[in-house]
Structure 1
Amino acid sequence: MLENVLSDRGSKYAVAGAPCASEDEAKALVKDLKRHKKFAKATHNSWAVLLPDAPVKNDDGEAGAGNVILRMLERDGVSEHLVVVTRWFGGKHLGGDRFRHVQTCVRAYLDEIGAD
C-alpha cells in the first residue's frame, strides 16, 4: 500500500493492490482494505483486475477510473493482480486531472511491485 501518493486542490490519493484470482476475491480484498477506517471514509476506492475470463473493474463513483486502471494493467501485461486507487475528495473538482492522478497512482504501484 502506498499512501499519500499525491495531493491536488485538497484531494489526496493512495494506491494498494494484491494478487487476485477472481472477482469475488477482488471484492473481498477491497472489503478488507475498507476495514481500515481511513479507507472506509474515502470518497472513492476505484479498482480493476485482469482475469483469464474477463477484466473486472469498479469505479466506485469516480466515473472512468476503473477503465484507466484496466488499460494500464493491460498495457503492462499485469494479470491476476488487483489495483485499488483511493481518493479522498478535497472539495474542488479536478476535471480531467483526476484521470492523470489515477495513472500516477497506478504507475507508482506497478513500479513498486516491479512490473514492466
Structure 2
Amino acid sequence: MQVFDSIIRDRGSRYAVSGGACRNAEEAAAFLKELKRRKKFAKATHNTWACLTDEGPLRNDDGESGAAQVILRMLEREEILNEIVVVTRWYGGKHLGGDRFRHVGDAVRHYLDNRGG
C-alpha cells in the first residue's frame, strides 16, 4: 500500500491518494479496511475508489457522486489492471463544484506518476 497524504488543498478541503494491488471485490474491501485502520482515513468525508480487474471494473463513489468514474477512466486510459486507487477527501466546509473532479484527476495523476514498480 502506498499513501500520498495532503497532496491537494482547496478551500479547506484536503486530498490524499493511495493504491495497491487488487484483483477482486474482496481485495478491494480488504484494502479499504487496512487504509481505514489509520484513524485519519477512517474519519475522512469520502474514500472514493476504483479498480480495473480481470472480472471487470469495480468502483465506489462513497458519497462523492461521479468521482469513482473519473478514477476508472484514468485507469482504463493507462491500461492499469488489478490495482486499486483511492482518493480521500476531508471536506473543508465549502463546496468545490466541478473543481472536485479536477482534484480527483490530479490526485490520481499524482499516484500514477509516483507509485512504485
Unaligned 5+ segments in structure 2 are none
Show the counterpart of 1:76. Answer: 78
CA RMSD of aligned residues (A): 1.1
Cα offset, 1:53, TM superposition: 1.4
Over 2 Å off, 4+ runs: none
Cα offset, 1:3, TM superposition: 0.4
Retained in 1: the 8 A contact 2:24–2:55? no
SS of the residue corresponding to residue 103 of structure 1 reads: helix
Cα offset, 1:113, TM superposition: 1.9
Task: Give the Cα separation in 2 of the matches to 1:79 and 1:114.
Answer: 15
Determine if the alignment matches structure 1 residue 112 to structure 2 residue 100: no
Cα offset, 1:41, TM superposition: 0.5
Aligned pair count reads 115
**Correspondence list, 1:27-42, <5 A:** 27-42=29-44
TM-score, with structure 2 as normaliser:
0.96
Task: Give the Cα separation in 2 of the matches to 1:22 and 1:62.
Answer: 22
Unaligned 5+ segments in structure 1 are none
In percent, how many aligned pairs have the same letter?
A: 60
